[in-house]
Amino acid sequence: MMLKKRNWLVALLTGLLSVSFVLTGCGGSDSSSSSTSTSGSATATGSASAEKLDPIEISFFISDPGQAPTPDNKIYKKIKEELGVTCNFEFLVGDKNQKIGVMIAGGEYPDVITLGSDTVSKFTGAGALVPLEEIIEKDAPNLKKHFDPYKNKVKDVSDGHFYVMPGYGVYYNDFSINVNEGPAFFMQKAVLKDAGYPKVKTLDQYFDLIEKYKAKNPTIDGQPTIGFEVLSEGWRDFCLKNPPQHLIGHPNDGGVVVDNKTNTAEFFWDKDYSKRYYKKLNEINAKGLLDPETFTMNYDQYIAKLSSGRVLGMFDQHWNFSNAELTLKTQKKFERTYAPLPVVFDEGTQDYYMDRPVLNVNTGYAITKSAKDPARIVKFFDALLEEKWQKILGWGIEGEDYKVDDKGSFFMTPEQRVNYNDQTWRLGNMAHTLWYYAPKMEGTFSDGNATGPGGQPKEYYDALDQYDKDFLKAYGYDQQSDFFSPAPENRISYPAWQIDLVDGSPASMANTKVGDIATKFLPKAILAKPDKFDSVWDEYVNQLHKEDIQAYVDRINDQLKWRADNWK
């Protein structure tokens, strides 16, 4: 897919609680400073939790793989006891588009589904979603206040209704960015330490370090060292297709590069700068740095390889592989975790990996026409936006999962941090699946505490292992986000990856076709003998140009203009 939603899935991750996002999908005022947000109010008002509502069971379909919470999960039990809601989750198994197709063909849906910019129009086109604006206006004061500044952004451009409640991008009060969960070229910290903690700027420098380290360390923990991985399965193919835009100093706009001065997009997959990147991958493959299985592995196999500690580098978005890092940390293999590097082609290019916060338009929960009581479900989400519940969802239970010092600041003990980073513990003690996709407060609460541990500067630093503290100190940094240049102001229409191409339209069909072509030809070009690369590349470009790329670009540019005119 060319337009990559930051499919806010997977990793109910450590960094999920940092006030950050691109992950690519996956920002703040800059990479290291605090800012004040005007997008949210200081507190949420009381609503559903102040009135007794009839008990209800809500069925959720999560359109990503995942694990169900344990039956005795303490947070879901608390939600049932106090809000009268039982949450039943179904997670994606198999192909997402096939599952969605079967669902739409049958006309039967769960009460609530998670959607992204690549799937919204499939459901709106089928008349499967409940418009939310009137229900929110009447019954949901917290949601109304939360989304009021973004009325024009949350409307479906085809009919003006509000269907999808974005899960991210509404900031309250002060916030700081400690961790960038978005895109980067990642490198094992052990590689950088071995090289004397260099500041890596260019793609050539990046692969030179990997080559030298692999030569010195052909095995890690008894297994062959892997120099570089390229994940290309399904919608996660952004790991394969997105790097060229960053290498020329542009942010994540999905399948296009947008000129910020003219607000116009160009399709970049066929451009010379894209060829330059894939030719480099062809070169490193010839040197034996690329995993021979990289284009046949699935996501689970990719995570397993990263979790083994033997993969030296990859392009990805941090939220997409953070579960692997949790595994490495649990095993005390801190040197095998990853540092994000803002790699570009040339020394003179300014990196643009960090971006400022944006509302995650078209990505979040939607209520379907199969729901018997949509208003009751809306009231549930409204209640969850109260500070009481936001603290429970973000931090846990006071006294059990975190503590409060004599100044009122939230913090975790070492034991609580170990629990928090343990995925098995989370399944029984946190409600991350619910919270991850739901409308939420980001930034700080009215008492000044961050909405999650990762956004609390002192807690962020105290939670670091000594290895990571020493690693940052060696670079002269205070936090992970310091690796990047400060994020400039977003253009009004940013980001293009959120644009709905409209299912079945010429733009959508072109998107699918060129995506299939790239999935076929890019691995072929990368794995070709070096003297065959140019001929495979030329064949790839010729195949791309047979498709209606202009329909795709026209749709993007039309929506970029619409946003510039309506989002001011």
Which DSSP string do the residues of 359-404 spell out, in sequence order? --TT-EEEEBTT-S-HHHHHHHHHHHTSHHHHHHHHT-SBTTTBEE
Do 315 and 185 meet the contact criterion of CB atoms below 8 Å apart?
A: yes
Do 255 and 5 meet the contact criterion of CB atoms below 8 Å apart?
A: no
Question: What's the mean pLDDT in 413-433?
Answer: 94
What angle (nearest 5°) sits at the alpha carbon of residue 187, between those of residues 465 and 359?
Answer: 80
Asked if the model's pLDDT at residue 202 lies above 70, the reply is yes
Nearest to 556 by CA among 514, 520, 510, 513: 510
Distance from C-alpha of 553 to C-alpha of 255, rounded to nearest angstrom: 9
pLDDT in tens, 505-516: 999 999 999 999
Q: What's the per-residue H, E or C state across 213-252?
A: HHHHCCEECCEECECEECCCCHHHHHHHHCHHHHHCCCCC
Asked if the model's pLDDT at residue 238 lies above 90, the reply is yes
User: Phi and psi at residue 229, in whole multiples of 5°?
Assistant: -115, 150
Asked if the model's pLDDT at residue 341 lies above 80, the reply is yes
pLDDT class for 568, splitting at 50, 70, 90? Answer: confident
pLDDT class for 176, splitting at 50, 70, 90? Answer: confident
The DSSP bridge pattern shows strands 164-166 and 364-367 to be antiparallel
Do 355 and 246 meet the contact criterion of CB atoms below 8 Å apart?
A: no
Asked if the model's pLDDT at residue 50 lies above 60, the reply is no
Element (H, E) at 274: helix 272-286
- Give the rounded percent of residues in the chain with a pLDDT score beyond 70: 91
- pLDDT number for residue 449: 96
Distance from C-alpha of 380 to C-alpha of 49, rounded to nearest angstrom: 8
Distance from C-alpha of 132 to C-alpha of 140, rounded to nearest angstrom: 10
User: Phi and psi at residue 363, in whole multiples of 5°?
Assistant: -135, 115
Asked if the model's pLDDT at residue 61 lies above 50, the reply is yes
Q: Name residue 175's beta-bridge partners.
A: 35
H helices present in 84-150, as ranges: 96-106, 120-125, 133-139, 141-147
Do 272 and 151 meet the contact criterion of CB atoms below 8 Å apart?
A: no
Which amino acid, residue 500?
Answer: D
- Walk me through the domains of the chain, giving residue ranges and CATH numbers: 15-176+358-463 (3.40.190.10), 188-352+501-568 (3.40.190.10)
- pLDDT number for residue 503: 85
Radius of gyration of the chain (CA): 23
Distance from C-alpha of 196 to C-alpha of 189, rounded to nearest angstrom: 11
How far from the centroid of its chain's Cα atoms is residue 88's Cα? 24
Give the three-state DSSP class for 410.
strand
pLDDT class for 429, splitting at 50, 70, 90? Answer: very high
pTM of the complete model beyond 0.75 = yes
Distance from C-alpha of 225 to C-alpha of 188, rounded to nearest angstrom: 12
Nearest to 109 by CA among 100, 117, 122, 118: 100
Torsion of CA 91, 94, 96, 100, to 10 degrees: -80
Give the three-state DSSP class for 33.
coil
Question: What's the mean pLDDT in 124-146?
Answer: 97
Name the DSSP class of 173.
Answer: S
pLDDT class for 179, splitting at 50, 70, 90? Answer: confident
Based on DSSP, count helices (H) and strands (E) in the chain, helices before strands. 23, 18
pLDDT class for 245, splitting at 50, 70, 90? Answer: very high
53-65 burial code (b ≥16 CB/10 A, e <16): eeebebbbbbbbe
H helices present in 464-548, as ranges: 466-475, 506-527, 533-544
User: How many other C-beta atoms can be found within 10 angstroms of the C-beta atom of residue 415?
Assistant: 8
Do 327 and 307 meet the contact criterion of CB atoms below 8 Å apart?
A: yes
The DSSP bridge pattern shows strands 171-172 and 264-267 to be unpaired
Token duo for residue 236: 């996660």
Torsion of CA 496, 500, 501, 504, to 10 degrees: 170
Distance from C-alpha of 190 to C-alpha of 336, rounded to nearest angstrom: 6
Element (H, E) at 254: none
- pLDDT number for residue 51: 66
Question: What's the mean pLDDT in 74-89?
Answer: 98
Do 94 and 448 meet the contact criterion of CB atoms below 8 Å apart?
A: no
Distance from C-alpha of 370 to C-alpha of 335, rounded to nearest angstrom: 49
Distance from C-alpha of 480 to C-alpha of 450, rounded to nearest angstrom: 18
Locus of tokens 């947000």:
37
| CA pseudo-torsion sign 329, 333, 335, 341 | negative
Q: Name residue 188's beta-bridge partners.
A: 338
Name the DSSP class of 339.
Answer: E
User: Phi and psi at residue 174, in whole multiples of 5°?
Assistant: -85, 150
Cis peptide leading into residue 244 (ω within 30°): no
- pLDDT number for residue 422: 87
